[in-house]
Structure 1
Amino acid sequence: MTWPPQSPDLNPIEMVWDSLKCQRCPEDEWPNDKNQCVKKWVEFLSYEEDTTVLIVLIISVSFSVKTFFILNIFIVFRDTPVVRANNQTLSFILLVSIMLSFLCVFLFLGRPTHVTCMLRQTSFGIIFSVAISSILAKTIMVYMAFKATKPGSSWRKFIGVKVTNCVVFFCSFLQVLLSIIWLSTSPPFPEQNTQLYQDKIIFQCNEGSMLAFSILLGYMGLLAAVSFIVAFLARNLPDSFNEAKNITFSMLVVCSVWVAFIPAYMSVTGKNTVLVEIFAIISSSLGILGCIFFPKCYIILVRPELNTKSKLSGQIKAI
């Protein structure tokens, strides 16, 4: 710093090339051209300054609205064979879960807070586990329904709403229990990362326990893998409205998305890590919606002649 000062307006932390004494900049500032400390740019997915947020919001809201419309279609046509064939209640639960999964994206946007950091992973984990559990219950019901059609089969006593409700409740409850343990032991919290970049601060959520985060994702992956295996085994069972093939493709999409998510999540930094997870959430939810419900909506709205009980019975007899 020059001495005596050249101007009374000189900032005391300004430095010049011929300085005799240097002063370290605060953590939220950095030396610009080595002669002045300036504020670091704070990076997060801002609603006001980031156009990517607007794109994500449009995609999330549009798909949640489409899911809501499909839910209404299924409610209106709830007594038709194509809706009743694979448990209409599970279809309603699955559609609501998918809609909420799209809306979970809002928790990942904006400036991180204690509330959003604690809710973003756990809420999505619970909601998506309910969705995967519903798919698993659907697949199990397809398999048991076929086994029960055989004369003298002991599978008939397992056919009923109680079995599907137990599958959904038990699988979802485990995820809820894992989330409660995570939040009570080492909950996520907002933090400012000043070490990653020299000229900017990353405002992010610290997951608290990466082990708990990994277990949460791993449990969802386990449910998806089991659903895929059961659906793959039941894909050729004789039922004209058999969802097993559609479930197989949907679970293949989900597993592919989240397997690709792991290396992508580990290789990016800053707000890009949040964008990668948002992409995985939207892609996996859309994969389930498209593979399972779009074909049914096509039959209900475009080919209603296929949505009859006689058509269902005729195709089973032909097989």
Structure 2
Amino acid sequence: MDAEQCKKCPEDEFPNEQRDRCLPKIVTFLDVNEPWGTAVTAVAILLSLLSALVLWVFVKFQDTPIVQANNRNLSYLLLTSLSSCFLCSLLFLGRPTPASCLLQQTVFAVVFTVAVSSILAKTIIVVLAFRVTGPGSRMRMFLHPRVPYCVVLICSGIQGLFCAIWLGTHPPFPEADTRSESRHIILTCNEGSAFAFYCVLGYMGFLALGSFTIAFLARNLPDAFNEAKFITFSMLVFCSVWVSFLPTYQSSKGKSVMIMEIFSILASSAGLLGCIFIPKCLVILLTSWENNTKQNKNQRSSRSKNSSSFKI
């Protein structure tokens, strides 16, 4: 009191109300036991279980036309990666450590790339199945069963290379944020290299934009089980979430940064699951496909008989 010159408190302390003493700041982080952490954990686990349930439905009804029409093995891979996407949001909870900071961004990037590249492979197969019709066409070699897996492997491998360069040059590390809140020290993970982080996001956005473009062009192809429309809507949701994430991520501080990234992961994954698979599950569970298949066969046989009798 009555001092001519005031002394500034250190970064890990804050002044009391009387401004005559420095008190230590409280160390905090996005904990599982706080409301946000509990809500994130519950939502992530529920959505992951929902993905597993959808996968079980697809495996159980794997012989139905709607499952067989669009490469069911890619559907299995996509559902498995989506379930992992929901769970990878849990890596952002808890006290940051060097290992958790490395896993947060790399696991998120690779798993999401597997999901988006699986959608890209499904979209390419849908287009090629209609465009490559001639028996002597050279493009028929792209209809080989291994082509979709090569697309997923190449796209995911490129993202893995980006992550390896990122970890080898400027890896993420734990950081104590002393400026976002006056009375708290917030433990977060620093990306290490913002350029590498945005390159990883940009590559995922490039794959998503490619899937959206191809699916949009193929949305009106004549097929009862054409999923191009579902992929178009799912990619639209995916891109909208991550485009809105970037400016919010730049303006957020402290725990808000992690909360926004977690929300983007859960929202975009839920958009992919809901737009692509939930309508199919409703059709599988609410429609008797075996009876419909038999009816279609009977109708075709009756038409062939009528046409033959007409010729006679």
After the TM superposition, which residues 77-92 of structure 1 pair with which residues of structure 2 at under 5 Å, given as runs?
Answer: 77-92=61-76
Segments of structure 1 that go 5 or more residues without pairing to the other structure are: 1-16
Listed one character per residue, the Cα deviations across residues 214-254 of structure 1 (whole Å, up to 9, x for unaligned) are: 00000000000000000001111111111100000000000
Counterpart CA distance in 1 for 2:159 and 2:293 is 38
CA drift of 1:148 comes to: 3.0
Segments of structure 2 that go 5 or more residues without pairing to the other structure are: 301-312
Q: Is contact 2:40-2:90 (8 Å) kept?
A: no
Q: Is contact 2:234-2:271 (8 Å) kept?
A: yes
Instruction: Check if 1:239 corresponds to 2:223.
Output: yes
Instruction: Check if 1:38 corresponds to 2:23.
Output: yes
Listed one character per residue, the Cα deviations across residues 77-132 of structure 1 (whole Å, up to 9, x for unaligned) are: 11221111110110000000000000001101111111111111110110000000
2:275 counterpart residue number: 291
SS of alignment partner, residue 85 of structure 2: helix
CA drift of 1:198 comes to: 2.8
SS of alignment partner, residue 211 of structure 2: helix
TM-score (structure 1 length as normaliser): 0.88
SS of alignment partner, residue 238 of structure 1: coil
Q: Structure 1 segments of 4 or more deviating over 6 A?
A: 310-315
2:150 counterpart residue number: 166
Change beyond 3 A, Cα 1:310–1:153? farther
CA drift of 1:272 comes to: 0.6
SS of alignment partner, residue 161 of structure 1: coil
Counterpart CA distance in 1 for 2:109 and 2:220 is 31
2:265 counterpart residue number: 281
Counterpart CA distance in 2 for 1:312 and 1:205 is 58
Q: Percent identity?
A: 51
Counterpart CA distance in 2 for 1:191 and 1:101 is 25
SS of alignment partner, residue 145 of structure 1: helix
TM-score (structure 2 length as normaliser): 0.90
CA drift of 1:150 comes to: 5.0
SS of alignment partner, residue 222 of structure 2: coil
- Aligned with 2:237 (options 250, 253, 258): 253
Counterpart CA distance in 2 for 1:198 and 1:102 is 33
Query: Which structure has more helix as a fraction of its residues?
Result: 2
Change beyond 3 A, Cα 1:23–1:98? same
* Range with bigger deviation, 134-143 or 186-195: 186-195
1:131 counterpart residue number: 115
Instruction: Check if 1:200 corresponds to 2:172.
Output: no
2:309 counterpart residue number: none
- The two structures, once aligned, show a CA RMSD in angstroms of 2.2
* Range with bigger deviation, 160-169 or 30-39: 30-39
- Aligned with 2:101 (options 117, 124, 129): 117
Listed one character per residue, the Cα deviations across residues 243-301 of structure 1 (whole Å, up to 9, x for unaligned) are: 10000000000000000001111121110111111111001000100011011101110
Change beyond 3 A, Cα 1:164–1:308? farther
Change beyond 3 A, Cα 1:256–1:311? farther
1:61 counterpart residue number: 45
